Amino acid sequence: EAQVTQNPRYLITVTGKKLTVTCSQNMNHEYMSWYRQDPGLGLRQIYYSMNVEATDKGDVPEGYKVSRKEKRNFPLILESPSPNQTSLYFCASRGGYSNTEAFFGQGTRLTVV
C-alpha cells in the first residue's frame, strides 16, 4: 500500500529537549516536505526536499532542521523546541514532473511545555 508514515503520532516534550519526527514514504517520490498546521493559519511549509541531499527552506523554517540522506526518509529535527512549536505536523511526498498530488502522513501532534 502506498503511504507516508510518520512517527510518533503524539509527542509531549519539554522546552529545549531535542527531538526528531521521522517520515518515510514507499512510493519512490522525489519531492518531500514538512508542514505545520495551526488553527486559522492552515498548512504552512517548513522545509522541502526535491531529492537526496537537496533541501530548502519553506515559509516557516526557523527552529527546524531536516536532512535527506535517503530518498524514502525525511526526518524533521527540533534542536531546542519551544512552546510556539506546539502544532500539528504533516509530512508529504509527491512524485515526479507535473505530478500535483501530495500524499500526506497521518500527522504528529506535538506539545512543547
Partner 1 sequence: QKEVEQDPGPLSVPEGAIVSLNCTYSNSAFQYFMWYRQYSRKGPELLMYTYSSGNKEDGRFTAQVDKSSKYISLFIRDSQPSDSATYLCAMPSSRYSSASKIIFGSGTRLSIRP
Give Rg (Cα) of the chain. Answer: 13
Rounded CA separation 38/13 (Å): 18
Q: Which is nearer to partner 1, 11 or 43 (CB)?
A: 43
When the beta carbons of 14 and 54 are compared against partner 1, the nearer one is 54
* 6, burial (CB in 10 Å: exposed 0-12, middle 13-18, buried 19+): buried
Query: What does the block give as the cell for 49?
Result: 526536499
Give the nearer residue to partner 1 in terms of CB position, either 92 or 110. Answer: 92
* 15: contact with partner 1 by CB under 8 A: no
CB of 42 to partner 1, least distance (A): 3
Candidate residues 58, 67, 77, 111; the one interacting with partner 1 per rule CB under 8 A: 58
Q: Report the DSSP beta bridge partners of residue 34.
A: 47, 91
Contact with partner 1 (CB under 8 A): which of 48, 49, 74, 93?
48
